[in-house]
Amino acid sequence: MAPTFATHFIDTALSRTGFSALSYPDPKQKWLIRKHLLSLIQDHPNFTPSTDTFFHNDGTIVNLLYVNGDLHISNHTPLITLTIWLHENYPYKAPLVYASSNSMSPIHECHPFVDASSGVVTSPYLQTWLFPKRNLSELVHNLVKIFSHDHPFAYLPSANFTHPSLASRMEALDRLSGMLHYDMMVLQAKHEEEMEQLSKLNEEMVKRDDIITAMIIGLDHENMNLKERVMALTNEADVLVNWLRVNNSKPELSRCRDERENVFQGADDESKMEIDCLATERGIEDVIDALYEALEQGVVSIDVYLKQLRPLAREQFLNRALLLKLRGPNILHCI
């Protein structure tokens, strides 16, 4: 039987009227609340009834009954202080359960049934609340069972439940909820790690994109400069071509050009061939010198330089052989 003072307090609280009246208007509801509270206090005498103002998350303010007490789980774990508020629509609405913590016994962050910041308890028993199958005494009995395997003040993942073949439906549901919670925590940690890696990769890609963009802009500027240079050279070439077209037709220039071309003439065919060979020799030397200078300045690569040098060297060799052949009798005559 429940203590007399508890029975008297509950009866007095439920009979209040006016401003201090509790938010339970239905007489049948009050009778069920009285019955459930007395049954709870009879099974767990350390719970004490009281009344106070309760603030819902939506801003609603109500006057409710609640019980407060400590759950003793084992001799090796600290007591769990619970506050159970009876909703204004109790027993058709589940009670609101809170676990209190302190600096010596904080609620661990990854508990599957208790929120570490607010202390709100959300066990499967509460989530599947359905009157008349659910009541306060069985709720506390269920909390004792799940906290004995997964204490809110000590990180002990549920692993020692009764064997599945012997477990009740509610115990199996508690076990499944706990396992799913811890699996979700592992997946969330893995997901956060992957997100962090992807974030770093994204930052690296952004940096590379900036570098490539800068390179493209630089190439565009260089391309524009080259186009401007080509246009300038084209204009200069046009001016030169026009000048040549105008001045090549003048008789004085034609005559001077003919005189320059006829300054050196061979006395016979062999002399003419020797002069041609010497001219070719000088031309090849000039081309080779120009190629070497282009190689030093980086205008042409070594592969292009060698590719152009080989036929020039071959031509130079053949030209020198011909020149030696033409000079052969003279050399022998001098000897």
> What is residue 172's predicted lDDT score, i.e. its pLDDT?
63
**Please, what's the b/e burial string for 313-332 (b: 16 or more CB within 10 A of its CB; e: otherwise)?**
eeebeebeeebeeeeeeeee
Give yes or no for residue 264 having a pLDDT over 60: no
Q: What is the dihedral of CA 53, 55, 60, 61, to 10 degrees?
A: 10
**Per DSSP, what are the bridge partners of residue 48?**
68
Who's near 110: CB < 8 A, 6+ residues apart?
155, 181, 182, 185
Average pLDDT for 303-331: 80
CA–CA separation, 91 and 94 (whole Å): 7
What's the pLDDT tens digit per position in 17-66? Answer: 888 899 999 999 999 999 999 999 999 999 999 999 999 989 999 999 99
Arithmetic mean of pLDDT over the chain: 82
Beta-carbon count within 10 A of 85 CB: 18
Average pLDDT for 244-269: 60
pLDDT band (50, 70, 90) for residue 333: very low
